[in-house]
Every structure is written in C-alpha cells, then in structure tokens.
Amino acid sequence: MKRSDLVTKGKQQAPSRSLFRAAGFTEEEMNKPLVGIVSSYNEIVPGHVNIDKVVEAVKMGIAMAGGTPVVFPAIAVCDGIAMGHIGMKYSLVTRDLIADSTEAMAMAHQFDALVMVPNCDKNVPGLLMAAARINVPTIFVSGGPMLAGHIKGEKTSLSSMFEAVGANVAGLISDEELCEFENKACPTCGSCSGMYTANSMNCLTEVLGMGLSGNGTIPAVYSKRIRLAKQAGMQVMELYRNNIRPRDIMTKEAILNAITVDMALGCSTNSMLHLPAIAHEVGMDFEIGFANEISAKTPNLCHLAPSGHAYMEDLDAAGGVYAVMAELNKANLLNTNCITVTGKTVGENLADVKNLDEDIIRPIDNPYTKTGGLAILKGNLAPEGSVVKRAAVSDKMLVHKGSAKVFDNEESALTAIENGSIQKGDVVVIRYVGPQGGPGMPEMLNPTSAITGMGLGEDVALITDGRFSGASRGAAIGHVSPEASKGGTIGLIKDGDIISINIPEYKLEVELSDEELENRRKDFIPNEPEIKTGYLARYAKLVGSAARGAILE
C-alpha cells in the first residue's frame, strides 16, 4: 500500500479523488506514487529565480521513472537584500517556518516521496529538517551557485561588494569604482559565488548523503544542473522502490561526516547553527563544543571566498565535494559505510573520485592548516560556546587582546565604525542580537565588511551574540552563548573592559574577576526584545540557545 492510497483509493476517498480531478489529475496519475516537489522558486532571490527550470527538469525525471510529480512551494529570504534593516531579523526564523510548512503540506496530502529544491541560507537546512521529520524517501537538488564576478581582471563576489562600501566610506575607492562593483560582483543567478552559508549547506547535502554528486557546486547557469535535476527526479523513484528514507541516511555518523567536511571546506559559521538543528530532528544531541575534537584532527583543504581567491565554479572544476571527501578518506577521517541517496555507501561513491586541481583542493598531506576551518571558543565570556571561521582570520589576529567598544545594536556599531570611532586593537561588541534578543539572530555582515573595507580587518575583532554571514571574514566571533537577553556575560561587558581572544587554544575571555562579574550581575536586568507582536515575538519566546542550533523549544 502506498501512503497516497490514503487519499486516492477506496470509496471513502471518492471526495478526495474528486478534488484531485478538479486539479486536473487523471486516473493514471492517481494510481502512480505521488511525489511532492518542494519548489523554492521566487522572483526576488537571485539564488531562486532559476528554480522553476530546475523543477521542470525534476518533474520530467519523476515522470520518466514512473511517478506523478506534484509541486508545492517553500519560502526563501535573500539575506543580502534583508541585510542592514529589520528584514534581517526575519532570515533565520524562516528556517523553522519552512520546516513546519513543508511538514504540514507533506503530511496533509500523504506524498509517497519528496524532492526538495532549495538553494539559499535557511531554505536548505529548513528542508533538511523537514525531510527528517516527514521521513519518506527524499532527495535534494538545489538551484546551484552563481558564477564569480570579474573586476579589473580579478574574480569577485558579494563579500567584495560589501567591503567596497566600506572602502568607499574610507575614501579608498571612488563612487565610480563602487558602481562598477555593484554592476559586476554578482553576474548571474544562483547562490552567491563564495563558500557562504547557502553553498556551505548545499555542499553538506552531498556529505549528509541527501544530494547527488555536484549538487553543491555545479553552477546555476550550467546545463549540467538541469541534467542533475532530471537524474534526481529519476533517483527519488529508486529511493521509493527501495524504501530508503532520510533517517536511514542522516544518521549520527553522517552528521559527523558533515562536520568533518565542513572543517575541510572552511564552511560558513552558520553551519554550526544548522547542523545541530538537523541533528536534533534525527534524535542526536549536538552540543557544538565537541566540534573542536573533529577540527583538531581535520585539515583545512580549501580556501574559497571569502577566505581565499577561489570560487564555487573552481571547486566544481576540481572535482567538487566528493573530491574533498576523497582526500579526507585517505586519512580515514570519514565513515564510509553511511548509505546515501545514490543507493550506495559513501565509500562506494568515492571509489573512483580524483582531485583534479590540487591548487583548489589541497592534498591531505599538504593542507592549508592541520586543523579545521571553524573553531568553537569557550570561556567566561561564552560558557556555552561561540563560533569563529578560523580559516578567514589572519595569523595576526589568532591571538588578540583589546579594549571593548560595546553596542546594543548593529546600527550604532556601524555608525561608530564608519565615523572613525573604532581604533586599531579594539574589540567591537554587538549584543542583544541573539536568537531571542534580536529577535531572530540577525547577521552582522555590514559591520564586518565595514571593518575590512576600511583597512582594519587585521587589527579589529568583532564579537556578538548574533551571527555572521558566510561572506564575513576577519576575527569575527559569533553565536556567543548564553546571549545577553538570557543573562549571558556578554550583557555585563562595559566599554574599556579587556577582551582576550585565543583561537588556537579555543578561548574567549573578558579579563574580569569572578567577583567583579558577580557584582555586575546583581544589578543586571537584560534588555527585552523590542518587537512585541507577530511571528518574531512568538519566536523569541520559544527559541533556545545558539549553542544547540537555535531550535524552537
């Protein structure tokens, strides 16, 4: 019996069948497995404007393999467009909206299988969470990354665009040069061209076993992406026939593989929000601190933008995510017995894979660093942890002490950076922007880009209970937990306090005695979130610590 028989078979379901017929379904279509295609297509997010073509290819693949494709939507926010205003508060919170709404649609209509077609930051993890909950045969095929821009003979991307604004404010580039960046930094549709959050999560769908090879790296504008979509549509029918489900694939071992490859790729710090949330859906308790154990033994093999001058198209040409995994497998760093959507194990998938460009994917015996691209820092300032993209931090800033300049919102911090109030050596602290305090844990790309664009990237650190875009670089430490709104130490810091950062030793401290911190805590009343109504107010009441993925509790 198919799941969809509950809505298409028997006299009691005659009313349901009449509604299917009203939608144009034939008897033959109702007799085949119903495969839901979750389409994230919209006309405002550049990573999603091509998804209609991907969906059409998926539909063709499903039909060729004997299924009935049925499309329904998922929302997606463009973080770049939402940046720097109230819209940024609505980015992370969409992850849970996407998971909830997809669960509701899939369960209400009893689909036999699903194809998820996401692309951007919260869209991919939201659908991975939904896949784990619904647990019917599911495959992912994303919209793909955009090609890099070209300015003055060099490749560029969205992070360069944000930094150009800071450079313009500092008088380092002209208005005409800024306009050139605006017109050339993002030349095609697709998710932004560096190893930012969207591409990080799309790459990790391959590692988790939920996407076919190339899903994370084939550019959006390549015809190969359309062929991949047709293959995914056909492959979901194989998953259906063999009853291979997301919880068979996204096991604890697969999650650990994802963290390992995350470290090798130098993924966005946001992966340390999303992997714990996905793990939670499959019943794994993921406390981010243990990621350091994996980082300590995992070499960093890739420096993609913003950490370096390579882009997603370069990673794809070098062999993609599977080539990175093959290098890691040489050191036995992966569990190769995990099953994947190919119907084969990780080990079988990697059997004939080669690294095609050792400048883009360093060999396992010649890494950029012997430890991973991310680090979890703890200490009296972040007892539950904080996250930094170590691969994007200059050697000069790996160990740093500086005087705190404290701000209770992003806007005041950005103003101070742009008017020259931040000096070399300072540590900018932005608080009350965590999951609850934001609410919604907005990204701090504008401040980090301003710091870098004004030439302070190797002299100024920024710490926050909010988060960073994958496009951020420099000594940017986010996810400080507990957050200020929940009484965290970050809420006690004052201007002039000395903050000590030691990334190699995984430490983040404010140089205050326990007695002084306790005295300050006696009079401390955290600021309440400013937004009191609507979805954000409900979210603030339910959301948990960033250290456990900012899941709703």
Residues designated catalytic: 469
Residue 513 has a CB neighbour count (10 Å cut-off) of 9
Q: Considering just the CA atoms, what is the radius of gyration of the chain in Å? A: 23
Q: At what angle do helices 175-184 and 158-169 cross, to 10 degrees?
A: 170
**Nearest C-alpha neighbor of 454 from the set 160, 175, 174, 171:** 171
- Specify the length of the chain in residues: 553
Exposure on the CB side of residue 366, measured as CA atoms within 13 A: 6
Amino acid at 48: H
Decide if 302 contacts 361 (C-beta within 8 A). Answer: yes
- Alpha helices by DSSP H, 44-89: 51-64, 79-82
Rounded Cα distance, 427 and 423, in Å: 9
Using left for φ > 0, alpha for ψ between -120 and 50, and beta otherwise, residue 379 falls in left
**Does residue 51 contact residue 119 with C-beta atoms inside 8 Å?**
yes
Contact 326, 350 (CB under 8 A): yes
Tokens, residue 347: 């080990």
User: Distance of CA 212 to CAs 59, 102, 142, Å?
Assistant: 17, 21, 10
Select from 286, 116, 285 the least CA-distant residue to 215.
116
Please name the residue that has the structure tokens 């880009």.
449
Cross-strand pairs, 499: 402, 510
Residue 499 to residue 490: CA distance in whole angstroms: 11
Angle between helices 197-208 and 320-329 (to 10 degrees): 60
Query: 481: which strand partners?
Result: 385
Please tell me the distance from the alpha carbon of residue 133 to that of residue 247, in angstroms, as a whole number. 9
Task: Give the integer Cα–Cα distance in Å for 546 and 178.
Answer: 35
> For residues 34 and 56, what is the distance between their CA atoms, to the nearest angstrom?
16
The amino acid at residue 172 is L
Tokens standing for residue 86 = 């109230």
Sign of CA dihedral 347, 119, 439, 535: negative
The neighbour count for residue 10, using CB atoms within 10 Å, is 11
- For residues 489 and 11, what is the distance between their CA atoms, to the nearest angstrom? 63
What's the longest Cα–Cα distance across the chain? 76
